Amino acid sequence: MNRALEILSPGPLTLIEDLGRPGLAHLGVGTSGAADRTAYLLGNRLLGNPAGHASLEVTYGGLHVRARGALTVCVTGATARITVAGRPADPGTPLRVPDGADLALGMPSHGLRSYLAVRGGIAVAPVLGSRSTDTLAEIGPRPLAAGDVLPIGPPPVELPHIDHAPARPWPQDALEVLPGPRRDWFADPNALQTTSWVVASASDRRGVRLTGAALARVPSRRHTELASEGMVRGAIQVPPNGQPVILLADHPVTGGYPVLGVLTADSADRAAQLVPGSPIRLTWSSGRHSA
């Protein structure tokens, strides 16, 4: 029989994601793809999958799936209770799910987005070269619903690694910021790292909204509008209200708010794990990187 993954319950939000669609930003389509690249790539690596195989991105846990045919899977990212056929199982290691058995993910105790990688990858039809759901451009598969049956691709030649990958330490350190192109628009760029920020509930795959003491512009820029310019994942845009927004995987390709700083790639991944309501600190990079 053809191997497949049946969705019994998607939880609050489960999407299919891979490395996205680079190269189309000039046509108005952003890269999209897994919000936490590190966690997503780790799952595929532990299963012997090539880097671009599609996985499930599970926001806030609650996913419940059933294997059709025996599957080998791996859970990475946000820490959540995992059960396979009712028995507790470990994250960051290949798991066998026998034909007809269920896998369930609880609500995360740390982090926001878990990844369920499947050996062979989720093999739905790609759109513009990717199986990712882009929630902003509305390209790719729709969010998963109970009853969806997802085909699984042929297992890769490489065998799964038997080793267990240690998860990133929680709680998270401050996110590391490189200077952005419009840093000179701000009266006190240092305020970015001295302010205690809180993750706002309006955050999603487009961006993490932070609330805290407003970042003021220099007087000469207070009433200036920036012409739209290209944006990147991890960019920290600051609208006139002074409350920064960290752009995530589904960010608009261009934006009209000045970018004060840009997270390192690793910190952009960690930003995707921030839970609304939690505190977070940002710190200017010590200079190991160039802007």
Give the x/- contact pattern for another protein in 50-89, rule: CB under 8 A.
Answer: ----------------------------------------
Is residue 24 a contact residue for another protein (CB under 8 A)? yes
d(CA 260, CA 60): 30
Residue number, 103 or 245, with CB nearest to another protein: 245
Q: Does 29 bind another protein (CB under 8 A)?
A: yes
> How many residues contact another protein, by CB under 8 A?
34
Question: Which position among 178, 249, 274, 282 is part of the footprint of another protein (CB under 8 A)?
Answer: 178
Is 208 a binder of another protein (CB under 8 A)?
Answer: no
Residue 196 touches another protein, criterion: CB under 8 A: no
| HEC secondary structure over the chain | CCCEEEEEECCCEEEEECCCCCCCHHHCCCCCCCCCHHHHHHHHHHHCCCCCCCEEEEECCCCEEEEECCEEEEEEEEECCEEECCEEECCCCCEEECCCCEEEECCCCEEEEEEEEECCCECCCCECCECCCECCCCECCCCCCCCCEEEECCCCCCCCCCCCCCCCCCCCCCEEEEECCCHHHECCCCHHHHCCEEECCCCCCCEEEEECCCCCECHHHCCCCCCCEECCCCEEECCCCCCCEEECCCCCCEECCCEEEEECHHHHHHHCCCCCCCEECEEECCCCCCC
Segment 252 to 271, residues that bind another protein, using CB under 8 A: 252-254, 259, 262-265
Q: Smallest distance, Å, CB 114 to another protein?
A: 25
Q: Which is nearer to another protein, 30 or 160 (CB)?
A: 30
Q: Is residue 165 involved in binding another protein (CB under 8 A)?
A: no
25 touching another protein, by CB under 8 A: yes
Least Å distance, CB 255 to another protein, is 9
Query: Which of the residues 219 through 258 are near another protein (CB under 8 A)?
Result: 227-232, 234-235, 252-254
* Shortest distance (Å) from residue 77 CB to another protein: 21
Which positions touch another protein (CB under 8 A)?
22-29, 31, 127-128, 137, 139, 178, 180-181, 227-232, 234-235, 252-254, 259, 262-265, 289, 291
